[in-house]
Amino acid sequence: MGVIELNHPLVSHKLTILRDKNTGTKEFREIIGELSTLLCYEALKDAKTDEIQIETPICTMKAHKLNEDNYAFVPILRAGTGMLDGLIRIMPNAKIGHIGMYRNEETLKPVKYYYKTPKDLANREVIVLDPMLATGGSGIDALTMLKEDGATKLKFLCIIAAPEGIKKMQEIHPDVPIYCAAIDEHLNENGYIVPGLGDAGDRIFGTK
């Protein structure tokens, strides 16, 4: 399945603004949404459509339409919710789930506190959202829970990914493609992505 990294001048431009420590909360949040829309566009390149007949103002024609009910977006709380607007802007009828986790700052392992998803995950394509794929712990646990709940068609969307997190996720979930705006250099001793963009959740919500 592999990793799909967006390579585009517009993406590079937006990432530069995100990475800048002087970028304010409003602009940071907006750009997270914009990049999420672009990631969703890439992730849905293989989407299946139904052929229908419509009438344009000029004539009758055959056209293609997505069944949005076949999709579920599942952000990992809390930072993943910052990506959600960018996806539901283009697919507003997709179902939404939430998985709550936070990172134990001593062990760097995820701690789970909330799980709520749409029914019939086995019949949906499930797209998991988390801005940062760092150690991979939260993403791996989220994917494991969703698979245990019946999901078989999964994709993982993030803004920034670290090689360590990619490697670990591919070892545990080799069937899940990873879509990211950029693959960065490495993790530092505190488990943060370098050069990264800091704590995405804090910057999205202005809590630091």
- 0.85 exceeded by the pTM? yes
Going residue by residue through the chain (208 aa), what tens digit of pLDDT does each one get? Answer: 699 999 999 999 999 999 999 999 999 999 999 999 999 999 999 999 999 999 999 999 999 999 999 999 999 988 999 999 999 999 999 999 999 987 777 776 777 889 999 999 999 999 999 999 999 989 999 999 999 999 999 999 999 999 999 999 999 999 999 999 999 999 999 889 999 999 998 999 988 7
Q: Are strands 71-77 and 125-129 parallel, antiparallel or unpaired?
A: parallel
Please tell us whether the domain made up of 3-205 is placed in CATH 3.30.1490.20.
no
Domain ranges of the chain: 3-205
Q: Residue 64 has what pLDDT?
A: 96
Query: So which residues are the catalytic ones?
Result: 103, 107, 199, 202
